[in-house]
Structure 1
Amino acid sequence: MTLHADLQVARGSFALDVALSVAPGEVVALLGPNGAGKTTALRALAGLLPLDGGSVRVDDAVWDEPPKVFLRPERRPVGVVFQDYLLFAHLSAAENVAFGLRARGMDRRPAHAAAVEWLDRVGLAEYARARPRSLSGGQAQRVALARALATAPSLLLLDEPLAALDASTRMLVRTELGRHLGEYTGRTLLVTHDPLDAMVLADRLVIVEGGRVVQEGAPTEVARQPRTEYVAQLVGLNLYRGRGSGTSVALDEGGELVVAAPASGVVYVAFPPSAVSLHSARPEGSPRNTWPVTVVGVEQHAHTVRVRLEGSPGVLADVTTGVVAELRLVPGARLWAAVKATETHTYAG
């Protein structure tokens, strides 16, 4: 059965009002900026924070439905992997994994045997007697995952599970985590701010801003059609809202763009920073959008340079270091931006 959660929590001036569903075998990623309500949602599902309204239901069982029902955390079949793993420093890896089983009444010997079996499944059988301080970050993450899965939870909550890892370890552990999640038949909610973690691991994305769901869908759908500035930044696109008339879109923030496909009514226009070219003088030639801009920021991004530009509209451009030198791209420099109509993607607002 599917997890159905209508999470309503009020904390001071902040109010969370988020509806979530997670089917068996599905991985749902909850994304949003800091303060959006991601952690509040996770704590409510884990039973660490009672709801003020709404409900949480799984397999026809009610976990939370104020004011009548509130199932305490220890009675919920939930496994949690925290950002800093929260392994018990005085216990071995096997004892950490066995802890949840023992807490649920399993005798010591079978709990230990099950723990060693889980450590073997995550490739750490030889570390059964190791203490957390002797483990690498990736190994500690796998122990925490084994501890969460050992109790066969109905719901697995992952709270920024890869955030504490360095870049090279993160890539390897992400791949391994994806394999384990693919084998897990329960429901998984991944809370993260990292778009790559979400795109690689999740079947569906739920974007939260200001305590509300602003967009949800398959990763490819969200990446292709972002609907807020936060989502556009998440997937690396320039995004504008405006009103279309034929192949022209008058933008809400000022300016106008010529697009490839005719549009009518309220629409979004999106294109990648790599589609933007910069020029010292107004370019001539093939039909394109051109407008004056001013450089307000320059940042190194992997093998390219991200240039932030003010204008009508403001825009992000990705250029080479050669272009930076040629055009002397420093804050305050005045240039022309150009985007071909064929590089734009238009969809209903």
Structure 2
Amino acid sequence: MTLRADLHVRRTGFELALDLTVEPGEVVAVLGPNGAGKTTALRAIAGLLPVDAGRITLDGKVWDEPPRTFLSADQRPIGVVFQDYLLFNHLSSLENVAFGLRARGVDKRTARAEAAQWLDTVGLTDQAKSRPRSLSGGQAQRVALARALATQPDLLLLDEPLAALDAGTTLHIRAELGQHLDRYEGRTLLVTHDPLDAMVLADRLVIIENGEVVQEGSPSEVAHRPRTDYVAHLVGLNLYRGTADGTTVHLTDGGKVTIATPATGAVHVAFPPSAISLYPEHPTGSPRNTWPVVVTSVEQHAHTVRVRLTPADGSSAPTNLLTDVTPAAVAELSLTPGRPLWATLKATETQTYPS
């Protein structure tokens, strides 16, 4: 059965209004900037925070429906993995995993036996007697996951589960977590600010800003058709709004872009920074989008250099244009703020869709 959460939580100057569903076997990721309401949503579903209005149900059982019903966290069939794992420092890995089972009335011997099986599942049999302080970040994350899954919850809540890991560990643990989630038959809700975690682990993304859903869909849909500046930034695309008239889009913030396929009316135009090419002089045989621009900033971005551009006087270039270049190109083009250049964009590199 489906988890259905119609959440309305009010705080001074902020209101969360989120309608969310999670199906059995599905991983849903909730993303959003700081203060968007991600943690508030997770706490409400976990039973750590009552909603002011709305309804939370699973398998037809009401968890929260003010003012009549509110089940506390210990009454909900959930497992939670927190950002900092919250392992009990005075307990071994085995006892940490067994804790949830013991809290639900399972006898000590059975709980320990089941905990040992779960440690074996996550590859930590040799760490059964270890205390949390002697575990690496990746090992602690796996103990926390085993503890959450040991009670066979109907709903697994993951609160920034990889945020505390170093970059070298994250890649391996992310892949490992994905394998465990593939085997988990319950419902999984992942709250994260990291788009890569969401893209790799989730079946469906729910993007929230200022307490409201701004976009929802599969990772592929969201990545190719962002609908807000925040989402475009997450997936690394230039995004503009405008009005299409054939193959020309007149942009809301000024400038215009030529697209490959004719369109009409209000549209979004998106394209990757890598689609922008830079030249010191007006290029010959250039694409249909060729604009004089000025460099406004140059900064290291992952393994490339991100260059921010603004239209030169009289240019029809989009505002706040981003492109990625190699460090060698920075030297060859003398890329410093104020440097005038020419930018090109092939019409076939653009994605256009209704706004």
Name the TM-score, length of structure 1 as normaliser.
0.98
In structure 2, C-alpha distance between the alignment counterparts of 1:36 and 1:143, rounded to whole Å: 29
SS of residue paired to 2:274: helix
| Alignment correspondent of 1:122 | 122
Cα-to-partner distance string for 1:146-189 (whole Å, 9 max, x where unaligned): 00000111110001101111112111111110010011111000
Q: In structure 2, how many angstroms separate the alpha carbons of the residues matched to 1:296 and 1:44?
A: 43
Q: How many Å apart are 1:322 and its aligned residue?
A: 1.9
Q: Partners of 2:287 and 2:149 in 1: how far apart?
A: 57
Offset at residue 14 of structure 1 (A): 0.7
Matched, 1:320 2:354: no
Distance 1:220 1:210 in 2: 24
Aligned residue for 1:99? 99
Q: Give the distance between the partners of 2:284 and 2:208, measured in 1 at CA.
A: 43
Counterpart of 2:341 in structure 1 is 335
- Confirm or deny that 1:71 pairs with 2:77: no
Distance in 1 between the 2:160 and 2:335 partners? 36
Tell me the secondary structure at the aligned position of residue 243 of structure 2. strand
Q: Work out the CA distance in 1 between the residues paired with 2:66 and 2:42.
A: 17
Distance 1:67 1:282 in 2: 68
1:238 equivalent in structure 2: 238
Question: For residue 271 of structure 2, what is the amino acid of its counterpart?
Answer: F
Q: State the Cα distance separating 1:295 from its structure 2 match.
A: 1.6
Instruction: Give the drift of 1:309.
Output: 1.5
Q: Tell me, what secondary structure is at the counterpart of 1:19?
A: strand
CA distance in structure 1 between the partners assigned to 2:246 and 2:158 by the alignment: 46
- What one-letter code is carried by the residue in structure 2 that aligns with 1:175? A
CA-CA distance at 1:71 after TM superposition: 0.4
Structure 2 counterpart of 1:229 = 229
- Paired residue type of 1:325: A
Q: How far did residue 40 of structure 1 move?
A: 0.4
Q: TM-score, normalised to structure 2's length?
A: 0.96
Distance in 2, matches of 1:223 and 1:287, equals 25
Once the two structures are TM-superposed, the CA of residue 219 in structure 1 deviates from its matched residue by 0.5
Q: In the alignment, residue 339 of structure 2 is paired with which amino acid?
A: A
Secondary structure at the aligned position of 1:99 is classed as helix
Per-residue CA deviation, residues 199-246 of structure 1 (Å, 9 max, x unaligned), is 110000000001000000010011010000111111111010100000
Q: Residue 331 of structure 2 aligns to which amino acid in structure 1?
A: A
What secondary structure sits across from 1:116 in the alignment?
A: helix
Offset, 1:340 = 1.1
Question: Which residue identity does 2:18 align to in structure 1?
Answer: V
Q: Distance in 2 between matches of 1:321 and 1:172?
A: 28
Q: Could you say what secondary structure the match of 1:346 adopts?
A: strand
Using the alignment, how far apart are the partners of 2:38 and 2:310 within structure 1?
32
Q: CA deviation at 1:290?
A: 1.8
Task: Name the counterpart of 2:90.
Answer: 90
* Identical amino acids, percent of aligned pairs: 69
Which residue of the partner structure matches residue 133 of structure 1? 133
Give the drift of 1:310: 2.0
Structure 2, gaps ≥5 residues long: 312-316
Query: How do 1:96-245 residues align onto structure 2 when only pairs under 5 Å count?
Result: 96-245=96-245
- Which residue identity does 2:251 align to in structure 1? L
Please give the alpha-carbon distance, in whole angstroms, between the structure 2 residues aligned to 1:33 and 1:303: 24
Query: Alpha-carbon deviation of 1:249?
Result: 0.2
Higher deviation after alignment, 337-346 or 260-269: 337-346
Kept after mapping to 1: 8 A contact 2:35/2:210: yes
1:143 positional shift:
0.1
| CA distance in structure 1 between the partners assigned to 2:133 and 2:338 by the alignment | 50
Q: How far off its partner does 1:281 sit?
A: 2.5
Other-structure match for 1:9: 9
Task: Give, as a single letter, the amino acid of the residue that structure 1 aligns with 2:227.
Answer: R
Render the CA deviation track for 1:311-340: whole Å, top value 9, x for unaligned.
341210011122211221112222222111
Distance 2:287 2:204 in 1: 38
What is the SS of the residue equivalent to 1:163?
Answer: coil
Unmatched tracts of structure 1, length 5 or more: none
Per the alignment, residue 270 of structure 2 pairs with 270
Q: Is the 8 A contact 2:287 2:344 kept in 1?
A: no
Deviation at 1:287, TM superposition (A): 3.4
Q: Which moved more, 1:276-285 or 1:106-115?
A: 276-285
- State the match for 1:29 in structure 2: 29
Per the alignment, residue 247 of structure 1 pairs with: 247
User: Cα offset for 1:43?
Assistant: 0.4
- Name the count of aligned residue pairs: 349
For 1:258, the equivalent position in structure 2 comes to 258
* Paired residue secondary structure (2:164): coil
User: Which residue matches 1:347?
Assistant: 353
How much has 1:293 moved relative to structure 2? 2.1
The one-letter amino acid paired with 2:3 is: L
Distance in 2, matches of 1:256 and 1:302, equals 29
Distance 1:287 1:303 in 2: 27
1:341 aligned partner, one-letter code: A
